[in-house]
Structure 1
């Protein structure tokens, strides 16, 4: 049985180094762009420690290639996590002034780099993308440093003029992707004939006598690897599709560039989707409405979806002038969203999860939507074998016909395959692909949980009566206040975690009676008891969604727009009470409270009211 003792935290408050997985990358040379006269060649060296992959072809549109690679580079090194003001240089200055010697500055620099090596080993390094050569396209995949942005850059085979003598070798590998490569790609010009050469040896076999290998030894954080795999599985969930024109997105990004975020205010994009109407995008907290000019929303019911990570869309600024259309796939409020930018033969898929360390509550709720398995079952093995041996890609109907799996069994099989790093879902084309992340199988047991605290919290949930939700209090305009009781047998005491959840699952306020929280708060992440309470509430909500008979607490909100004015209606069920609120968005709302003799009568009135508002 796993111990429930929380990880020890030093008095200095410094977090222990994150768990990581070693990655051995070796390249026969550094990727570069070789220019000679009116011709240029982009040489991409693959990882020599993986199976050979080769592709050669002349680019039909070098400028689009340059801007697409530049956008990919911006995503690779993107880090939008909150960073407190860096006072390292100021402290070094005070030490220098006090000691009147330059030695203090040197010590300060060494201490800074030592801390960086322990806490963020990837801060000064760029993680190399995964490139896959398939019969229909060449793909580059990467994941942002802040573990919240996924990108897949795909070039159709029609984007190249392939020489007849150079046959491609299908497979997946890593490529050397450095600052030097980015700088050299800026030399690509439209008037130069530009070709792409991808392989272990770049453009041609290694010259005789040259055996030097560029070795990279990286410690990839397990949380980064886990997030990369999870976003693949997220793409298989049901979604709402929205079509935008490039100008629609440009208007939104221009507004964000001209207006800074407000401290303590909402920072999302709100999609208002009405069947048969063109979608509207609302920028928070200004409530600026952007009417889109793309296709109408073809869903069956009206939806109101909030997504985060809007500033990460700025990484697309260089590719946006070449984009012909934008498809947005929305999984739901507080869940990942996928943005597909189509620029002729080039497609860039941008996945925004919003799951940073500050949004741990939404991440925990999202985890419960996906299967949690550390081994491939027989159904997953069938799907992997079908894609690996026969075709490399297939849609759901083709997989069902060849494997015999149908419905939920097929969905779970492909989700497990994505989480295990063997498959990927190409949401831009609606097909599943065989794409192993690494040459050797991953240690999935290490990636099952984000950290030890989350593992202990799951262990507590398996104990009967160890985690209880004592009260649920709906606070108007704020969220749901949860109070729990977590009994830890090893500690011989009960803990009282408490949190306030917003409508989209974000945590606004937390507290706990454990020693770890009293000493460090949430600086080192949520304690075991807060995680256990959040997981218990998520499980309760999942069970409640299957039937409305047991509903005791629930709140639903509806919005209707009249020009620039948004009317909001909110209905809440609280045991034997029903509360009805209405008014204009952003202003105090009127309240009507009704008390019934029994909970059954209140529940019946609640659902009757819902049916009248939203048939």
Structure 2
């Protein structure tokens, strides 16, 4: 079962909408000039008030929804990043299976950027009610963290909210950016076609469906076809429905050659904004168990490279790996691995619309987020215990729980004889045995004192206890 702890949001005052001014109170966060208890990012005008208010409500709805096994849950305030030319608001569903992001772009903002950085913003019940009443074409004044403009409470007391913060929710931030970085645009629908498509989706379909491009629109199929996009539980797209009256286009992103159940990205273009939903491969699966980040984290080199690359980031809206590679002196593959490592502590995300990483700093304990990979911890424990023994260059025996698991290299593919690999065939990332073998292989092997090639290893010191690495990633009941 995933670990859950309480996280406190502390605000100088609650967010509120009063007299045409939307004052979003900020909690502690990181800026380009260092940590701030209540950073002040932006003050000015939202030129598209109605779609901005509706999209912010949609984002809040995702954050308090459990799409799998629905039950009451605590609300987690959105993570907001000011990248200079845009504001990005992000949240995860309570079940961890839907990632939502609202990008307020430069055409929808007219004002002053005071700082770049990341924080949480307060979204409370009265604010939600006020946002639901916003309409018409009048602009909306916006202050993100401005002390002098935000609406004060009657007694001026500090506002503090404590909510549960599951580990799988935090790990999802790392998984999503790695998974979607390999996606391509698969379809684009005009506003009228987008309305017809989204309103035609089955309301209670729990099975995995496929959206297949068909002329100017997409059709729903039970099996994948050329160019198809996986659509697991279309009910998870329902927060887009109130936004359709503002829609200009709908875009879908997926892997170039989908095989089996995979994630998908759905982007609704609004006036000067983008509302993005990323769905996990199944409604009963969150992103925390996908294991996409593990291979890039299996060496200490990636951690060292991440320190170097991270020092070069400055809340850019688009992070260019080629430029980072040139500036850091690392080759491109190591630079990309470093970006993945940075993702595990919430320091980079990925924007499928621009096919680019972006810099942000999650307003949570980065050390805690970076250590939320049980398979990787188990793999490193196996290596430390001498449980990995190479028979030859392409075959390793990994002793785990008193049993020998055979790991084989076949070109670019690696397989294992453990139950985890048999169940998932690598679609949920590598198992702990494959990870352990890769760590030993990449490090050149733990050469015994007598010398010799890396596959001549001493016998394991002890068998591993427990099976933390075989985490299926499904939600607890």
* TM-score, normalization by structure 2: 0.71
The match for 2:49 is 62
Asked if 1:31 corresponds to 2:15, the answer is: yes
* 2:304 alignment partner, one of 350, 363, 378: 378
* 2:332 alignment partner, one of 407, 414, 429: 407
Aligned-residue offset at 1:134 = 1.8
Paired residue total = 399
The match for 1:249 is 194
Q: Would the aligned equivalents of 2:230 and 2:263 in 1 still touch at CA under 8 Å?
A: no
Aligned-residue offset at 1:437 = 0.3
Task: Sort the Cα spacing of 1:306 and 1:206 in 2 relative to 1 into closer, same or farther, 3 A.
Answer: closer
The match for 1:329 is 253
SS of residue paired to 1:242: strand
Q: What is the alpha-carbon distance in structure 1 between the residues aligned to residue 270 and residue 160 of structure 2?
A: 35
What 5-or-longer segments of structure 2 have no aligned partner?
Answer: 30-34, 390-397, 406-417, 435-477
Task: Sort the Cα spacing of 1:184 and 1:280 in 2 relative to 1 into closer, same or farther, 3 A.
Answer: closer
The match for 1:174 is 120
Asked if 1:267 corresponds to 2:216, the answer is: no
Aligned-residue offset at 1:432 = 2.4
Asked if 1:488 corresponds to 2:396, the answer is: no
CA deviation vs aligned residue, 1:280-314 (integer Å, no higher than 9, x gap) = 532438x9x9xxxxxxxxxxxx5455332422111
Task: Sort the Cα spacing of 1:411 and 1:240 in 2 relative to 1 into closer, same or farther, 3 A.
Answer: farther
Q: What is the alpha-carbon distance in structure 2 between the residues aligned to residue 319 and residue 181 of structure 1?
A: 18
C-alpha root-mean-square deviation of aligned residues, in Å?
A: 3.9
Task: Sort the Cα spacing of 1:261 and 1:304 in 2 relative to 1 into closer, same or farther, 3 A.
Answer: closer
Q: What is the alpha-carbon distance in structure 2 between the residues aligned to residue 70 and residue 41 of structure 1?
A: 16
Q: What is the alpha-carbon distance in structure 1 between the residues aligned to residue 81 and residue 242 of structure 2?
A: 24
What 5-or-longer segments of structure 1 have no aligned partner?
Answer: 1-15, 84-119, 290-301, 466-484, 496-528, 544-615
RCO higher in 1 or 2 (8 Å CA, sep ≥ 6)? 2
* 1:423 alignment partner, one of 328, 333, 348: 348
Task: Sort the Cα spacing of 1:379 and 1:181 in 2 relative to 1 into closer, same or farther, 3 A.
Answer: same
Q: Would the aligned equivalents of 1:374 and 1:445 in 2 still touch at CA under 8 Å?
A: no
SS of residue paired to 1:317: helix
Aligned-residue offset at 1:139 = 1.2
Q: What is the alpha-carbon distance in structure 2 between the residues aligned to residue 383 and residue 44 of structure 1?
A: 32
The match for 1:531 is 420
Considering only CA atoms, is the larger Rg found in Structure 1 or Structure 2? Answer: 1
Asked if 1:73 corresponds to 2:60, the answer is: yes
The match for 1:133 is 82
* TM-score, normalization by structure 1: 0.57
CA deviation vs aligned residue, 1:407-462 (integer Å, no higher than 9, x gap) = 32222121221222111222222332221002643324641128xxx966996798
Task: Sort the Cα spacing of 1:353 and 1:226 in 2 relative to 1 into closer, same or farther, 3 A.
Answer: same
Q: Within 5 Å, give how 1:413-492 maps onto structure 2.
A: 413-438=338-363, 440-444=365-369, 446-449=371-374, 463=387, 488-489=401-402
Q: What is the alpha-carbon distance in structure 2 between the residues aligned to residue 432 and residue 271 of structure 1?
A: 27
CA deviation vs aligned residue, 1:203-222 (integer Å, no higher than 9, x gap) = 25979x96521112233111
SS of residue paired to 1:442: helix
The match for 2:269 is 342
Asked if 1:216 corresponds to 2:161, the answer is: yes
Q: What is the alpha-carbon distance in structure 2 between the residues aligned to residue 398 and residue 271 of structure 1?
A: 36
Aligned-residue offset at 1:278 = 6.4
Task: Sort the Cα spacing of 1:355 and 1:374 in 2 relative to 1 into closer, same or farther, 3 A.
Answer: farther
Task: Sort the Cα spacing of 1:81 and 1:400 in 2 relative to 1 into closer, same or farther, 3 A.
Answer: same
The match for 2:26 is 46
Aligned-residue offset at 1:173 = 0.7
SS of residue paired to 2:358: strand
Q: What is the alpha-carbon distance in structure 1 between the residues aligned to residue 60 and residue 287 of structure 2?
A: 30
Aligned-residue offset at 1:256 = 2.5
Q: Would the aligned equivalents of 2:317 and 2:358 in 1 still touch at CA under 8 Å?
A: yes
Q: Would the aligned equivalents of 1:32 and 1:180 in 2 still touch at CA under 8 Å?
A: yes
SS of residue paired to 2:94: coil
